[in-house]
């Protein structure tokens, strides 16, 4: 930093000493000097200006050098303060150090000592300011990089969701009767998840898992999926493979375990007897238990090639009749009780979009 820009404030109620210091600095140190013998005026100057160094007498009327030092430490911590005193009391030295004085000069002092103290203080101030600039630059760079990272992350998340939707569309193209099923199951699952106070992270996992839950149907012949007559045992065995096929498809993509479990377990029954593994109760993941209810409700209320759809209230009754058997009792009961609240957004497209956009 260039010296001519530096500004020193000198405060001493002894006008003779004040003049002596001013003349001495002016002669040997190229900088701007402001002097005052009034400590209250010094306080006002400090409120309105930034000084590179402050020299203050300790014993002054109204405000002491210690009080000025405390004030400077608060508003301008990069400004070193040199205290001057006629006292030889060690207690004053201790307080000065404790308050963070840069240096202390005892009257009478040599002008060479004064110059050395000022030069050291100016160097310290320059270093502190450099450090401050460096810190601010660093903060700016970190902030900029963080924004870039967030933008990249957001783009990746959108690409990720677009890919998931493309996979769902590919799967639903195989079966005209289930078009829109994955989206409806997703919204219903998220509504249930919200009532269960799941975290945003869990809701996002639920969203992806629900969207992909039937992905494995892509590996089942459409003649089997859309068969009007009763399925043969071997055809039903084939259908029962779709959770495993779906899980195998997503395994290499590296989707979270929670998503994998939703796909694999969404046909498991709470009381056992589901497929593919016959898992029971808490051995089935919570998110899969949610999707099971949403999936069953939407399947029951949707028309299929081989059967008519149920009315919403009839499907709701089916769910309450099967809690503990097919469905998790707590989630099933919650679904039954909050039925209108849960299903209302399904008829409202903007509400669905709002719900999903909240999770991106």
- By beta-carbon proximity to Fe ion, the closer residue of 45 and 231 is 231
175 binds Fe ion (CB under 5 A): no
- By beta-carbon proximity to Fe ion, the closer residue of 244 and 333 is 244
- By beta-carbon proximity to Fe ion, the closer residue of 83 and 291 is 291
Helix (H, G, I), strand (E, B) or coil at 323: strand
Q: Which residues contact 4 (CB under 8 A, 6 or more apart)?
A: 30, 31, 32
56 touches 69 (CB < 8 A):
yes
Span of 11-19, 64-72, 123-131, 206-214 interacting with Fe ion by CB under 5 A:
206-214
Query: What is the closest distance, in whole angstroms, from the C-beta atom of residue 237 to Fe ion in the complex?
Result: 15
Query: What is the closest distance, in whole angstroms, from the C-beta atom of residue 136 to Fe ion in the complex?
Result: 56
Query: What is the closest distance, in whole angstroms, from the C-beta atom of residue 264 to Fe ion in the complex?
Result: 11
Scan residues 76-135 and list those touching Fe ion (CB under 5 A).
none
The candidate with the shortest Cα–Cα distance to 355, out of 139, 228, 189, 224, is: 189
Query: What is the closest distance, in whole angstroms, from the C-beta atom of residue 213 to Fe ion in the complex?
Result: 6
57 binds Fe ion (CB under 5 A): no
- The pair of structure tokens assigned to 342 is 């849960």
The Cα–Cα gap between 264 and 248 comes to 9
Helices 312-321 and 286-301 meet at what angle, rounded to 10?
Answer: 140
- By beta-carbon proximity to Fe ion, the closer residue of 25 and 211 is 211
Q: How many CA atoms lie within 13 A of 315 on its CB side?
A: 20
Instruction: Bin 89: left if φ > 0, else alpha if -120 < ψ < 50, else beta.
Output: beta
Residue 222: phi and psi, rounded to 5, are: -70, -20
Sign of the Cα torsion 251, 257, 259, 265 reads positive
Residue 157: phi and psi, rounded to 5, are: -65, -40
214 binds Fe ion (CB under 5 A): yes
Span of 138-146, 159-167, 208-216, 225-233 interacting with Fe ion by CB under 5 A:
208-216
Query: What is the closest distance, in whole angstroms, from the C-beta atom of residue 299 to Fe ion in the complex?
Result: 8
Query: What is the closest distance, in whole angstroms, from the C-beta atom of residue 211 to Fe ion in the complex?
Result: 12
Number of residues that bind Fe ion (CB under 5 A): 1
The H-or-E segment that residue 329 falls in is helix 329-337
Helix (H, G, I), strand (E, B) or coil at 291: helix
User: Which strands, in side-by-side order, build the sheet including 53-57?
Assistant: 32-36, 7-11, 53-57, 81-85, 103-106
Span of 41-49, 175-183, 207-215, 233-241 interacting with Fe ion by CB under 5 A:
207-215
Query: What is the closest distance, in whole angstroms, from the C-beta atom of residue 199 to Fe ion in the complex?
Result: 25
- By beta-carbon proximity to Fe ion, the closer residue of 214 and 328 is 214
Query: What is the closest distance, in whole angstroms, from the C-beta atom of residue 134 to Fe ion in the complex?
Result: 58
Q: Which residues of 160-185 are buried (b: 16+ CB within 10 A; e: fewer)?
A: ebeebeebbeebbeebeebeebbbbb
Span of 43-51, 103-111, 210-218, 302-310 interacting with Fe ion by CB under 5 A:
210-218
- By beta-carbon proximity to Fe ion, the closer residue of 23 and 170 is 170
- By beta-carbon proximity to Fe ion, the closer residue of 214 and 268 is 214
- By beta-carbon proximity to Fe ion, the closer residue of 114 and 220 is 220
Neighbours of 34 (CB within 10 A): 16
Query: What is the closest distance, in whole angstroms, from the C-beta atom of residue 247 to Fe ion in the complex?
Result: 12
- By beta-carbon proximity to Fe ion, the closer residue of 214 and 298 is 214
Span of 46-54, 131-139, 213-221, 322-330 interacting with Fe ion by CB under 5 A:
213-221
Scan residues 329-348 and list those touching Fe ion (CB under 5 A).
none
The H-or-E segment that residue 263 falls in is helix 257-265
Residues in contact with Fe ion by the rule CB under 5 A: 214
């Amino acid at each position: 930093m260039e010296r001519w820009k530096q500004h020193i404030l000198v405060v001493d109620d002894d006008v003779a000493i004040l003049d002596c210091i001013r003349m001495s600095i002016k002669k040997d140190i190229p900088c701007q000097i402001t002097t005052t013998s009034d400590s209250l005026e010094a306080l006002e100057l400090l409120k309105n200006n930034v000084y590179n160094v402050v020299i203050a007498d300790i014993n002054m009327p109204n405000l002491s050098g210690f009080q000025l030092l405390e004030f400077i430490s608060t508003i301008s911590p990069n400004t070193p303060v040199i205290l001057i005193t006629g006292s030889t009391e060690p207690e004053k030295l201790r307080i000065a150090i404790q308050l963070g004085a840069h240096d202390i000069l005892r009257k009478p002092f040599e002008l060479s000592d004064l110059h050395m103290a000022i030069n050291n203080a100016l160097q310290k101030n320059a270093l502190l300011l450099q450090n401050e600039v460096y810190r601010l630059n660093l903060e700016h760079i970190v902030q900029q990089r963080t924004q870039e990272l967030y933008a990249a992350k957001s783009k990746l998340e959108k690409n990720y969701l677009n890919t998931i939707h493309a996979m769902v569309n590919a799967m639903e193209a195989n079966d005209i009767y289930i078009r829109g099923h994955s989206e409806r199951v997703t919204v219903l699952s998220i509504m249930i998840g919200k009532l269960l106070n799941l975290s945003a992270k869990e809701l996002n996992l639920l969203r992806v898992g629900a969207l992909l839950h039937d992905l494995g149907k892509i590996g089942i012949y459409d003649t089997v999926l859309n068969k009007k007559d009763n399925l043969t045992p071997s055809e039903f065995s084939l259908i029962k493979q779709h959770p495993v096929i779906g899980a195998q498809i997503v395994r290499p993509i590296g989707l979270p375990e929670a998503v994998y479990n939703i796909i694999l377990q969404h046909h498991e029954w709470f009381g056992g007897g589901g497929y593919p593994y016959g898992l029971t109760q808490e051995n089935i993941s919570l998110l899969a238990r949610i999707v099971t209810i949403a999936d069953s409700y939407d399947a029951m209320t949707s028309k299929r090639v081989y059967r008519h759809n149920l009315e919403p209230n009839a499907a709701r009754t089916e769910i309450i009749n099967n809690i503990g058997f097919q469905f998790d009792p707590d989630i099933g009961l919650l679904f039954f009780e909050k039925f209108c609240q849960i299903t209302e957004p399904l008829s409202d497209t903007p509400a669905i979009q709002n719900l999903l956009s909240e999770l991106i």
